[in-house]
């Protein structure tokens, strides 16, 4: 960051605006949202600014001097005159003020962010002056996410905070506030029932019903790698979690989205290093939930696709612990997106097969030839080490070696690699490019067109 975001206390302070026209009025409208006193420096003011002085909302000073800037919390210079802007800037700096000169970035100590106001909830968005239009676009999206009356609920929370601190032990307070902001009060507020929201909060606090701590487990898909492919529900759960048990393939950028004080426990399996057996993982996530903690079991991709989700679900349910599954973008989908096409194509490949080469120890390899038939896209997960034996099996079953194959390693991440070759060339391509797992091997066998035969496709 070139600039540091900070919210300033404005009560009992004053802000100086130099200028008497529309640009100065724009800054005045912004500062009027705060408790700061306005000082307008200009010999003449437009009607809007003049009305502020007449109502006692602002003070007018007709001439520039160093003294007018002393002690100012902020200074905005908006005269529209290059020479006068420079003079005002020099006086303000001599007085030790923080200055923003409108449309002159070189003279700015600070820039004005795009502000989303849900007082007392305030969201400030800045692009450090590089792209104001983008900042406004981000603000527009945030307007949709944060309901207009959200500030009412935040204000109520502020009024009740002392009572909550008095009634509830420290460990239980966060659970109470999560119920307020994620549960029925927030839902009531969203439909415009502000009084109902306040009543729900006060009633629950009075009865203490919300104080009981219920541990939960969420089996969350982290997606294929890129943090911005995370679902909104997964993001919310990460920000609510007390403890996160995460796999080796979870991208660090995803973990950065979690609550800062959430405990992070690595339970991945590294080749040649100590690993976590599945039964041990099952035990620790249940133990954490029994302590009343909100547990996220974070898995790469989609937890329901080769993520051993069944074993963890069964253990949690047997212990009587609430558990949910949050889907994620699976690696095959991300791989196809990187290739710029879908996994299926009408009239060519209308069947999708997902298979893993990382089978349970002692189990036979999948029946590759049965899976790969005309009209099929076969997506093989973690197939790098088993690729030579898979190709031998397919060749022995007379599967055409000329079929289109694509290998996508670390899909959606900066480390992504893509290789295109024929099915028969897959082992050599993997070796030549030193590809390692995680990787997806996509094999496409389009439906025969007309009199096309296996031998023609193979050729």
Which residue numbers are catalytic? 247, 269
Within 10 angstroms of residue 303's Cβ, the number of other Cβ atoms is 25
DSSP three-state, residue 264: strand
CA dist 383 and 335 (Å) reads 14
Helix (H) or strand (E) holding 209: none
- Beta carbons of 3 and 126 less than 8 angstroms apart: yes
CA dist 244 and 257 (Å) reads 12
CA dist 123 and 114 (Å) reads 8
Q: Which residue has the tokens 């047997």?
A: 318
Cis peptide before 438 (omega within 30 of 0): yes
Rounded (10°) angle between helices 309-318 and 278-290: 40
CA dist 58 and 372 (Å) reads 77
- Which residues make Cβ contacts (< 8 Å) with residue 196, sequence separation at least 6? 188
C-alpha dist (Å) from residue 425 to 139, 288, 406: 50, 48, 10
Gyration radius of the chain's alpha carbons:
31
Q: Where are the alpha helices (DSSP H) in 241-386?
A: 252-255, 278-290, 309-318, 331-339, 368-371
- Nearest to 210, CA basis, from 250, 244, 164: 164
| 50-89 per-residue burial string, b: 16 or more CB within 10 A, e: under 16 | eebeeeeebebeeebeeebbeebbbbbbbbeeeeebeebb
- Nearest to 344, CA basis, from 426, 418, 442: 442
- Provide the pairing of β-strand 114-118 with 121-125: antiparallel
- What distance lies between CA 355 and its chain's CA centroid? 29
Residues paired with residue 78 on neighbouring β-strands, in sequence order: none
- Beta carbons of 17 and 40 less than 8 angstroms apart: yes
CA dist 429 and 438 (Å) reads 16
């Amino acid at each position: 960051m070139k600039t540091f975001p900070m919210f300033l206390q404005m009560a009992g302070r004053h802000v100086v605006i130099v200028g008497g026209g529309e640009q100065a009025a724009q800054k005045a409208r912004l500062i009027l949202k705060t408790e700061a006193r306005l000082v307008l420096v200009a010999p003449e003011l437009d009607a809007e600014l003049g009305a502020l002085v007449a109502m006692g909302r602002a003070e007018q000073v007709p001439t520039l001097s160093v003294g007018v800037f002393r002690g100012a919390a902020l200074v905005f210079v908006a005269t529209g005159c290059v020479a006068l802007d420079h003079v005002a800037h020099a006086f303000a700096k001599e007085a030790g003020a923080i200055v923003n000169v409108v449309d002159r970035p070189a003279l700015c100590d600070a820039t004005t962010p795009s502000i989303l106001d849900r007082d007392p909830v305030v969201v400030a968005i800045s692009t450090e002056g590089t792209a104001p239009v983008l900042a406004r676009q981000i603000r527009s999206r945030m307007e949709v996410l944060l309901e207009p009356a959200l500030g009412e609920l935040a204000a109520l929370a502020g009024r009740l905070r002392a009572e909550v601190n008095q009634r509830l032990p420290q460990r239980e307070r966060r659970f109470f506030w999560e119920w307020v902001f994620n549960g029925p009060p927030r839902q009531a507020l969203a439909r415009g029932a502000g009084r109902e929201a306040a009543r729900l909060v006060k009633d629950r606090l009075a009865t203490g019903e919300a104080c009981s701590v219920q541990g939960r487990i969420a089996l969350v898909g982290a997606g294929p790698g890129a943090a911005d492919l995370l679902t909104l529900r997964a993001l919310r759960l990460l920000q609510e979690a007390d403890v996160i048990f995460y796999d080796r393939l979870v991208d660090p950028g995803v973990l950065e989205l979690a609550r800062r004080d959430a405990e992070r426990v690595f339970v991945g399996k590294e080749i040649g290093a100590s690993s976590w057996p599945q039964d041990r993982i099952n035990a620790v996530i249940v133990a954490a939930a029994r302590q009343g903690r909100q547990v996220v079991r974070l898995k790469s991709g989609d937890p329901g696709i080769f993520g051993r989700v069944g074993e963890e679900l069964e253990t949690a349910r047997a212990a009587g612990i609430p558990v949910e599954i949050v889907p994620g973008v699976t690696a095959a989908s991300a791989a196809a997106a990187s290739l710029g096409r879908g996994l299926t194509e009408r009239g060519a490949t209308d069947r999708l097969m997902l298979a893993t080469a990382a089978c349970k120890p002692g189990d036979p390899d999948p029946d590759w030839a049965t899976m790969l038939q005309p009209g099929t896209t076969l997506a093989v997960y973690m197939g790098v080490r088993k690729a030579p034996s898979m190709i031998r099996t397919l060749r022995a079953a007379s599967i055409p070696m000329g079929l289109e194959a694509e290998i996508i390693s670390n899909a959606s991440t900066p480390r992504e690699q893509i290789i295109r070759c024929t099915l028969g060339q897959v082992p050599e391509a993997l070796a030549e490019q030193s590809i390692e797992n995680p990787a997806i091997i996509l094999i496409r066998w389009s439906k025969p067109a007309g009199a096309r035969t296996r031998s023609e496709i193979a050729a």
